[in-house]
Amino acid sequence: MKIEQYLSQLLYRYQCVTVPGFGAFLTEFQSAQLDESSHSFYPPKKLISFNPYLKNNDGLLANHLAQAEKMSYEIAVNAIQNEVSHWKTKIQEFGYFSIKNIGEFSLNAEKNLVFVPVDQINYLKESFGLGSFVSPSVKREVYKELIESIEEKAPIAFTPERRRKFSALKYAAIFTISLGLMGVVGYKLYENYLNQIEQETLIVQSNVQKKINQKIQEATFFIDNPLPSVTLTVASEKRPYHVVAGAFRLETNAENAYNSLLKLGFKAKRLPANKHGLLPVLYGSYTSYSEARQAMNDIQKLDNKDAWLLIQE
């Protein structure tokens, strides 16, 4: 059974989709891009990467396949195992194989899997209908040089103004001087008046301020109904990324594993039973994927190579 279409459907909705026994496909948001050399604009998208170390079955792909094909969960798990086995046979025989709408796999010189994602599919739902486009460059300097050249060539014409008779100018000058003298005298009188008003205003303000200070010193304030104390509650920080030590069917096994992790110094936690009736026991919970991924790698090297990452939506 081909599972490519179901992987594509889940990558639109989730950040991590695990194929049990093979690896996990991860998505990371990339903002809109501009290629200045080609004047090309690209919309936001999800970048797909592959992690071959996340192989444990988290139930996401199997449940989706079971619901879509109207089959039981166990049959869906077997179908995924058969498809993974087919992929591994292809990579061993031909050295490469591709998953439709997701990417291509090949082996490098060290016999390690190399994943190259497809560029034609954008798994970011918010960018649906958006495509790349090329915008022609705007050459503003050309128009600026054209305007400057026109200004240099444009002729400037001066029209001489005829002078009036000297007698008219003489009387106008006498009248202007008279108005100037009257203005100077009037401005001096007005300035003295303003200074007098300003001094009187300062005296009044000083007296008023003294009375206000005296009243404040004599006053006594009482609060009959004090405001009740306010209790602030801080919302707990979400930690949706968990490093899982194991999932147990029996309560006693889960409790023993939890106590063992506490003794080793881990900030162990327990989660309620999932829909399969299993009780997850955690090494710890983290706020970001990168922090959880680093913790998982350290735990796999030092304590438990089967530790895996659980992401809660």
- Residue 283, domain CATH: 3.30.70
Question: What is the rounded (10 degree) CA torsion for 219, 222, 226, 232?
Answer: 40
pLDDT at 20: 92
Asked, for residue 10, whether it belongs to a domain, the answer is: yes
CA-to-CA separations, 66 to 71, 74, 158, in angstroms, rounded: 5, 9, 92
Whether residue 9 is found in the same domain as residue 127: yes
User: What is the side-by-side strand order in the sheet with 133-134?
Assistant: 33-35, 40-42, 133-134
Domain of 22, in residue numbers: 4-134
**Claim to verify: residue 12 and residue 129 sit in the same structural domain:** yes
Q: Given 99, 117, 134, which residue is the final one in a domain?
A: 134
The predicted structure's pLDDT at residue 258? 92
Helix axes 73-94, 60-69, angle to 10 degrees: 110
Who contacts 34 (Cβ-Cβ below 8 Å, separation ≥6)?
A: 40, 41, 42
The residue whose two tokens read 């401005």 is 187
Tell me whether residue 170 is in a domain: no
Please say which residue of 134, 153, 178 terminates a domain: 134
With respect to residue 251, please indicate whether it lies within any of the assigned structural domains: yes
- Contact between 52 and 91 under an 8 Å Cβ cutoff? The reply is no
Domain assignment of residue 230, yes or no = no
- Which residues in the chain show pLDDT less than 70? 1, 31-42, 125-194, 197-198, 201-202, 204-205, 208, 211-236, 313
> For residue 142, what are the contacts with CB-CB under 8 A and spacing of at least 6?
none
- The CA distance from 128 to 45, in Å, is 10
In a domain, 29, yes or no: yes
Q: Decide which of 134, 151, 181 is a domain's last residue.
A: 134
The answer to whether position 235 is within a domain reads: no
Give the pLDDT of residue 255: 93
- The first and second tokens of residue 95, run together, are 């050295």
Give the per-residue pLDDT at 234: 46
180 within a domain of the structure (yes/no): no
Provide the pLDDT for residue 123. Answer: 78
Domain count, the chain: 2
Q: Among candidates 89, 103, 92, 16, which has minimal Cα distance to 51?
A: 16
Q: What is the pTM of this model?
A: 0.41
Give 240-256 pLDDT, tens digit per residue. 889 898 888 899 998 99
Closest CA to 133 of 17, 15, 35, 13: 35
In a domain, 162, yes or no: no
The pLDDT tens digits of the residues spanning 248-297 come to 889 999 899 899 889 888 889 898 988 888 899 999 998 888 888 888 88
Considering only CA atoms, which of 282, 298, 209 is closest in space to residue 242?
Answer: 282
